[in-house]
Structure 1
Amino acid sequence: MVHMETPKEALTHFEEMEIHEKAAFDEIIRPADAYAPNGTYWADLPIGQRVKFCISQDGTEAKKEFAWLWDMFKTDPLSPISYYFKNAVLPGAGLGLEGYVLFSISNVSSLFSESFASCWKTYEVCDKNWIAAINYLEVAGIIVGQILVGFLGDWIGRRWGLIQDATIMFIGLIMLTAAWGVTQNGWIICYAWSLFFYSIGVGGEYPMTATIGMENGYGSGKVTTSQDRLHRGRSVVGAFLMQGWGQFANQVLLILLLLIFHHGSGSPPYSTVATQWTYRVSFAIPAVGTAWLVYYRAYHMKAASKQLEAQKKKAAVTGYDMESLRLTFKHFGPRVFATASGWFANDVFFYGNKLFQKKFIGVISPNSDVTTTWTWNLVNIVVSLAGYYCAAWFVDTKLYGRKWMQIVGFMLCFILFVIPAFKYDYYVKAENIHSFQTMYFLSSFFNQFGPNCVTFLVAAEVFPTPIRGTAHGISAAAGKLGALIIAVVGSYTSVQQQFLIVPWFGLAGALITYIWLPDTTGLDLREQERRWQFIREGREHEYHGPAIHSKHLSVWERWTGKGKLYDADLDYKMKVAEFRAEWEAAMAIRAEESETDLGIDDIDDNLLQGSMHKYFERTSPVIRSMNKDAPEPLSLPDAANEKQEPMSHE
């Protein structure tokens, strides 16, 4: 005899099913790392509770990571090294190689000045303008690469942009290694144009590395959404800091090569033969690594364009998404201004420090020879590396994060430059030189633990996928204009005059960051893409989620009313409706494919958006067990039209 449920029993089963459904939705929509147990978004908590929540989350995550690292070490002591190599060194290999070569130029220039004095110092046999053009063409090549490859990366795909960058850098290194001329001036011209060609590949590395680091988390299936929210910044900065290791490797190798080819001595005079061998071998070594990088990107990064292709497919775009570019400037124009202007201000500091460090070190250590200057530069690089790693460690901390890290970094660079600017004669005295030295090295530290790392990250993060490479390239190119300006200014000014000019760019950068840059720390990249989808469809006014929370908007965006539509409860209901629609669509596809071998894992990732797979696995067995007679796919109760109470994470 079949048992017939009473109305009361049926209602009880229905309520239990709804509770389980809400719990499943809550786990997806209100994850514990971003929402308090009562369902409140972390940025909506009162300040005291917010601080407590963030500290607790940071502590919990740190314990989990250290436990995971310890388990990995116990299994295989070398596995943490291989993990770091795979997840930081490889993604940042292009930037490491370009950092090696790019910052080698000023190092070898100081050696050329000693070995080829009639060309590089007195300009008797070489044109002074061509000597100066080396720095200008380097920066010009980077700008061309940033804009060109950023555009191509959004047009033909990230993978081909990466392959193209590595190929250009490989050919450029061969040109630099083999640069020659009938006269010394002819050699300089060949060297300068070889550097220009190489720098095009360098410029392309910026938008490509940033976008790949960003998109490897979101939509790739390689990491969970929790890892994306909690460690997205670290993954991008972790790749970017390879630039610092490239500088370190170059400086160490140059010192060793000079000792080898100069008969074990680093003291002048330096022979032209020793100089030629030193600089050419120093360029030949990264050529080998770059050749390998071409191979790796061609054969082991075939899914690099996956997220871009998914977004284009959703928008029915086959070529370059001009509509997304137009909408970006319409809706995110102030963000473009913030990322471009912030990068411009930063590069005045960064390249001012790097391109003319010989002048600064000359004040710290007068009458230094080449190896002494290189040794001081090595110390400066080590200090900078410490800043890189501090940035990677703190960039995802909700109580500090991207925006405040950039503001504080800019302000400290301003202070550390403006003090010696107005008291220069005091600080260059022998008894005060250590204070000058400390301020110079601290400026390097806070430039990395601040705007240099953050500008690279946010220029990709605050823009939508279809034009992310373009926006990053434009911002990076604006930065190199700052480098070009300081290159020109530095050629015609003294050290004190540079100190008087540069600080104000730090102050301007801090103000621009505060007013126009949004803070995306702790914001799920999926949520930003969801907001973009509303904008793309002309429904911006229907979006009510965290991407327009005041915490994640700039001061300017808040002033212009971008956050007035934020409504956490309404957004929750809309997400429930969206996930239900996706679930039912997925079940419909599964029903159509029931006669094939396809399973739930074969359904389009873009339809499921990753989370729906998890939702299906969690809810389907529960629903079916409570209502065995229900047909598949089961029509779920319309929870979106009912009042949703905040759920706990139990």
Structure 2
Amino acid sequence: MSGDNLKVLNALDSAKTQWYHFTAIIIAGMGFFTDAYDLFCISLVTKMLGRIYYHHEGATKPGSLPPNVSAAVNGVALCGTLAGQLFFGWLGDKLGRKKVYGITLMLMCVCSLASGLSFGHEPKTVMATLCFFRFWLGFGIGGDYPLSATIMSEYANKKTRGAFIAAVFAMQGFGILGGGIFAMIVSSAFSAKLNSPSYEVDPIASTPPEADYVWRIILMAGALPAILTYYQRMKMPETARYTALVAKDLKQANADMSKVLNVDIEADQAKVVEKRIEENPSNSFGLFSQQFLKRHGLHLLGTTSTWFLLDIAFYSQNLFQKDIFSAVGWIPAAKTMSAIQEVFTIAKAQTLIALCSTVPGYWFTVALIDRIGRFAIQLLGFAMMTGFMFGLAFPYNHWTKPGNHIPFVVMYSFTFFFANFGPNATTFVVPAEIFPARLRSTCHGISAASGKLGAIVGAFGFLYLAQSQDKTKTDAGYPPGIGVKNSLIVLGVINFLGLLFTFLVPESNGKSLEEMTGENEDFKEGEEMATQNNRSPLPVV
């Protein structure tokens, strides 16, 4: 009998992979393409911002952003993302996934453009307006995390659900890659002008006025992919699981599914199930109630802790890889390049890392997540990241010697590969699968916000560790960049802690969403109680 009552959900779980699944991946994935572009493109231009606005002699370090300004510019979008994940995650469960989905995209479009139009004559004014708009950009980006993951999990069948959710998240890799490529194109175009015979200013010794256009163009381009998918995103129907389980309208759920998937439920069946869903008392417990904590408390602790620890390492690596590469000598000293040439060099390094390790890591996860499971991939990723971090950190003095830069970069690239073929993908996938439908977006938002808290710790903490050096040891003959070594050791320890907390996260591979949330078990209990009381069983869906 339970099979009949859960027919609408079983139909979703067993539906064949269809064209609409791939359409949904592209629509939701382009949001993540934009997210990654917007979050990480700032690392391409921070050095340029220092050379443009802090080149005067009164600056703490002429040609570089002051540490507090650098931390704010790099970290303010992450603060906005954290707030957006909590707010839109909660709103997605209250109003529905679709109603909120378009708001986040428009916020991203507007604030991407506004970031590039940051105004003012004084450096403080430009940086303040840039930080203001990037906070709200992050707020919109934050909403995309719980909504995209929840929408994809509720549309997918259980056989390929992990791959579909991971594929949405994998678009983040293309966003990082696209940011590097676009920055190379823009900086090359302006460098060609600077190197022409008609240009009078020495491009090596100065920061040309054209540099102020370069960073603005790079930031504003983040609005384009979001604008292109806005119409398609607004045409997506509400997910059938939300309509059936939260809005309690199976007739509408059936109509929506019939539009996009080759799935159909009888109308009279829908009326019966709809009534029983509404009457079912097991659907009433709320977030952080005793029953929720008993069922899902450790699960939420597992998803929040692993995402928190992962993002400390992941965002530290991404936002400050230019500083690490400069420290080991892979990127030449700034004084040997113009500001625009420096952007090109940094973008080339980011593009190479993304192409060789970041993007392949994501798609390894897509290919294998439904074969070997989420738990194995996350455990492997944390373990390998720990090993490579320690491998970079303890012999750090060796890596800074001439001729050892390429092996360092190769090992560093492997940490990106195993972050993405590992916890960076799985921490996104699992929270969308293991919590009840009416709390799914909220719990994913809480887990993601915990990750962004880790990213903020990484952005501000790594900046401090990388710049703090023991002058006595440096003067005694130690190589520069002692702070970078210490930070790599800390990141290795953090990855090891992530490995340990992974054991709190359940394996969801091959199971339906209702099986993972325990709602199928509730149905059986209700059926038994109803039999004892000589009344119809109440289904849990």
| TM-score normalised by length of structure 1 | 0.65
Deviations 1:425-469 (A, max 9, x none): 123222433332221011110000000000000011111111111
TM-superposed deviation, 1:166? 0.7
Mapped partners of 2:204, 2:437: distance in 1: 53
TM-superposed deviation, 1:350? 0.7
Match of 1:288 among 210, 224, 231: 224
Q: Does 1:365 align with 2:347?
A: no
TM-superposed deviation, 1:372? 2.0
Which of structures 1 and 2 has the larger relative contact order (alpha carbons within 8 angstroms, sep 6+)? 2
Aligned CA distance change for structure 1 residues 113 and 389 (closer, same or farther; 3 Å): same
Aligned CA distance change for structure 1 residues 102 and 501 (closer, same or farther; 3 Å): same
Mapped partners of 1:87, 1:137: distance in 2: 30
- Alpha carbons 1:118, 1:126 under 8 Å: kept: no
TM-superposed deviation, 1:269? 5.1
Match of 2:407 among 435, 453, 456: 435
- Alpha carbons 1:140, 1:196 under 8 Å: kept: yes
5 Å-filtered alignment, 1:61-460, equals 86-118=23-55, 122=61, 129-217=68-156, 228-263=157-192, 268=204, 271-298=207-234, 300-301=235-236, 303-312=237-246, 313=248, 315-316=277-278, 323-325=285-287, 326=289, 327-362=291-326, 363-368=328-333, 369-382=342-355, 383-397=357-371, 400-460=372-432
TM-superposed deviation, 1:126? 8.1
Deviations 1:558-578 (A, max 9, x none): xxxxxxxxxxxxxxxx9xxxx
- Alpha carbons 1:139, 1:480 under 8 Å: kept: yes
Amino acid across the alignment from 2:442: T
Amino acid across the alignment from 2:509: T
TM-superposed deviation, 1:85? 6.4
Mapped partners of 2:366, 2:508: distance in 1: 15
Q: What is residue 508 of structure 1 aligned with on the other side? A: 497
The worse-fitting range, judged by mean Cα deviation, of 384-393 and 278-287 is 278-287
TM-superposed deviation, 1:252? 0.6
Deviations 1:308-340 (A, max 9, x none): 1211225549xxx87332343331100000000
The Cα RMSD (Å) is: 3.3
TM-superposed deviation, 1:289? 3.1
TM-superposed deviation, 1:97? 0.8
Q: What is residue 485 of structure 2 aligned with on the other side? A: 496
Local SS of the residue matching 2:509: coil
Mapped partners of 2:385, 2:86: distance in 1: 28
Q: What is residue 639 of structure 1 aligned with on the other side? A: none
Mapped partners of 1:269, 1:316: distance in 2: 72
Mapped partners of 2:418, 2:528: distance in 1: 41
Aligned CA distance change for structure 1 residues 467 and 176 (closer, same or farther; 3 Å): same
Indicate the structure (1 or 2) with the bigger Cα radius of gyration.
1
- Fraction of identical pairs, as percent: 26
Aligned CA distance change for structure 1 residues 367 and 338 (closer, same or farther; 3 Å): same
TM-superposed deviation, 1:268? 4.1
Mapped partners of 1:436, 1:291: distance in 2: 39
TM-superposed deviation, 1:581? 8.7
Aligned CA distance change for structure 1 residues 445 and 265 (closer, same or farther; 3 Å): farther
Deviations 1:515-539 (A, max 9, x none): x11111111234335x32644x794
Local SS of the residue matching 1:511: helix
Amino acid across the alignment from 1:506: N
Q: What is residue 8 of structure 1 aligned with on the other side? A: none
TM-superposed deviation, 1:296? 2.6
- Alpha carbons 1:342, 1:509 under 8 Å: kept: yes
Aligned CA distance change for structure 1 residues 323 and 84 (closer, same or farther; 3 Å): closer
Q: What is residue 456 of structure 2 aligned with on the other side? A: 484
- Alpha carbons 2:45, 2:343 under 8 Å: kept: no
Q: What is residue 506 of structure 2 aligned with on the other side? A: 518
- Alpha carbons 2:330, 2:406 under 8 Å: kept: no
TM-superposed deviation, 1:540? 8.5
Aligned CA distance change for structure 1 residues 542 and 169 (closer, same or farther; 3 Å): farther
Aligned CA distance change for structure 1 residues 419 and 161 (closer, same or farther; 3 Å): same
Deviations 1:24-70 (A, max 9, x none): 99xx9xx9xx9xxxxxxxxxxxxxxxxxxxxxxxxxxxxx99xx9xx
Amino acid across the alignment from 1:425: N
Mapped partners of 1:277, 1:173: distance in 2: 15
TM-superposed deviation, 1:185? 1.1
Aligned CA distance change for structure 1 residues 470 and 272 (closer, same or farther; 3 Å): farther
Match of 2:440 among 454, 468, 491: 468
TM-superposed deviation, 1:352? 1.3
The worse-fitting range, judged by mean Cα deviation, of 276-285 and 462-471 is 276-285
| TM-score normalised by length of structure 2 | 0.77
TM-superposed deviation, 1:128? 5.3
